[in-house]
Chain A
Amino acid sequence: MRLSPELGPVCLESTNLMSTNSQLLSIKDLSISFGGLKALNKVSIEINKNEVIGLIGPNGAGKTTLFNALSGLVEIDSGVLEINGTQHEWPKPYELIDLGISRTLQGVGLFPELSVLENVMIGGSNFARSGLISAALGLSAKDESKLKARAMTALERVYATGLANRRADTLDYPVTKRVAIARALISEPRILLLDEPAGGLGPQDIEWMNSLIHNLSSQCSVILVEHHMDVVMSVCNRLYVLNFGQVIASGDVESVRRNPDVVAAYLGAHA
């Protein structure tokens, strides 16, 4: 199954790629090392409301490590996290949703034996009563039906409602990408971390993904790790370029594209 042709218009809502300058998240001087290897060295980034920023750089530059730090999957050496101008502890993975942050994974990461609907519902577990006693007494039934409704809405946003009852391991790869994004959207995040959403997709599906990211930016901010430069250049307001764990350039797309350090380190092959 392909993503684009039968899906109809994607941009239902007006896109808003203009920064509002209201800072939503800021990471200052983040350093992480694995043994003797410095994976990130005093990296600072910030993202504003309804902004799409791109993290680019060669393989091993530290992009996914930065996502993992923000997701609580790796321990940091030092660094400050601010959300809405307030300093926060670095979150544990299960606290991410409560902070208004959702992420997708490079490897999609659907639960193969669960249905598409269940896969999406898992992303909204925080919104349903989950106590054993309430479940046993049937008190959670109302919450669960609300959660199902939320999951259907999230699937609608990625045009996958028709797949709700399919087992995840029966889906083709491009469709799994959509379901993974729906799972991230069910919690209505303020910040969405997309890890290579266009990876492994064909040209038509990539075009569809572009439109989806444009749309999403009207509802939340997006931090994008992506190797497809067409996607990065078309959807991002600003870019941070990482190389060997350091930010070597940042700014709007055009200034980064012209930056000689960036051309040398990464974009040279694509420019």
Chain B
Amino acid sequence: MIKLITAILTALTTGAIYALMSTALVLVWRSTRIINFAQAGQAVLSTYIGYEVTVRTGSFWVGVVAAMIFGALLGAVIDRFFMRPIFKRIQSGPILMIAPVVATLGLLGIIQSIIGFKWGLTYQSLAAPVSTDGYTLFDRVIAFSPFNLLVVVFATVSMLLLTLLFQKTNIGLALRASAHSPEIARLSGIKVDFIRTLGWALAGAAGGLAGMLYIPSSYLYPNAMDVLLVFGFVAAVIGGLESLFGAVAGAMLLGFAISFATSYVSEKLVFPMAFIMLIVVLLIRPAGIFSKKKGRRD
């Protein structure tokens, strides 16, 4: 029983962090049709900024805000001064397919090198704002702490706010319209370039938050978020890449699959389980298990 509860709670915690990363990837994909492999670098650099602010102010929460703001600004700058000029020059041909992958992988390398120069390759630790000691359940300590609870709450609130922004506001409508058809959105008076940059900024903020919530349970180093990028990508593909709901649901499914596989079968199944899920989804439902079917006609 304890094992089952622990597996569920661990799944919720890891799923919540994966959800923030997969959401960041989906936000950029929807607004620019780019899989942003640099997201791991952006998130870890934002976390370093959050780490520095936390150390200087003594407040984890000020650090979280700093990481999110820096993440948003970095995302906006990357789109405005890196991605947009590249895609203005590349309009067609086979390079159009390759350029986003090469550009974002190159950017990932550049960001991680900058981090290496500034902070070195050593592991830093970031203290959590609340206890990381597991709760006691039926006289046994479980692998779910007040900090894990905080992670789940923060990730859930962030997702709800993003959903409200997308579904209930005019700017969310512009984000959805620009993602689907930039040309028609422009003709409708929407400044699509600004909206795309906003997508990158929101993704950057989500990445910064993911980093600040992940690092206290791990260590901070230049490649710290690479694993999260992989899981976030797998979750986004499982969810169909197009919807925030799909990204979150895919992340939760992945979190549960990995947690149960490692709890009940073997701890070595973390990566195999993720890729098994990815391959199964691609074989059975390549558009993602939460991709919408065409609606009813008259």
Q: Which residues of B contact A166 (CB under 8 A)?
A: 295
CA distance A271 to B220 in the complex (A): 78
Are A111 and B171 in contact (CB-based, < 8 A)? no
Asked if A113 is an interface residue, CB under 8 A from chain B, the answer is yes
Asked if A130 is an interface residue, CB under 8 A from chain B, the answer is yes
A61, chain B: closest CB distance, angstroms:
22
Number of interface residues, chain B, beta carbon within 8 A: 30
Identify B170's interface contact among A98, A125, A136, CB under 8 A. Answer: A125
Are B198 and A122 in contact (CB-based, < 8 A)? no
Asked if A167 is an interface residue, CB under 8 A from chain B, the answer is yes
Are A111 and B297 in contact (CB-based, < 8 A)? no
Do A172 and B170 form a contact, CB below 8 Å, given A96-B187, A98-B189, A114-B176?
A: no
Most-contacted residue by chain A among B173, B185, B192 (CB, 10 A) = B173
Asked if A128 is an interface residue, CB under 8 A from chain B, the answer is yes
Are B294 and A169 in contact (CB-based, < 8 A)? yes
CA distance A118 to B169 in the complex (A): 11
Q: Which residues of B contact A130 (CB under 8 A)?
A: 170-171, 174
Do A135 and B172 form a contact, CB below 8 Å, given A94-B186, A94-B191, A113-B180?
A: yes
Identify B183's interface contact among A93, A125, A128, A171, CB under 8 A. Answer: A93
CA distance A63 to B188 in the complex (A): 21
Asked if A228 is an interface residue, CB under 8 A from chain B, the answer is no
Asked if A144 is an interface residue, CB under 8 A from chain B, the answer is yes
Are A126 and B189 in contact (CB-based, < 8 A)? yes
Identify B165's interface contact among A94, A113, A135, A169, CB under 8 A. Answer: A135
Asked if A237 is an interface residue, CB under 8 A from chain B, the answer is no
B87, chain A: closest CB distance, angstroms:
17
CA distance A236 to B280 in the complex (A): 59
Asked if A217 is an interface residue, CB under 8 A from chain B, the answer is no
In residues 89-118 of chain A, which contact B (Cβ within 8 Å)?
Answer: 92-94, 96-98, 103, 105, 109, 111-114, 118
Are B295 and A111 in contact (CB-based, < 8 A)? no
Give me 20 A-to-B residue pairs in the complex whose CB atoms sit less than 8 angstroms apart, sorted by A's number: A1-B298, A73-B183, A94-B192, A103-B187, A109-B181, A109-B184, A113-B176, A122-B173, A123-B189, A125-B173, A129-B170, A130-B171, A132-B165, A135-B165, A135-B171, A140-B171, A144-B170, A170-B296, A170-B298, A171-B297
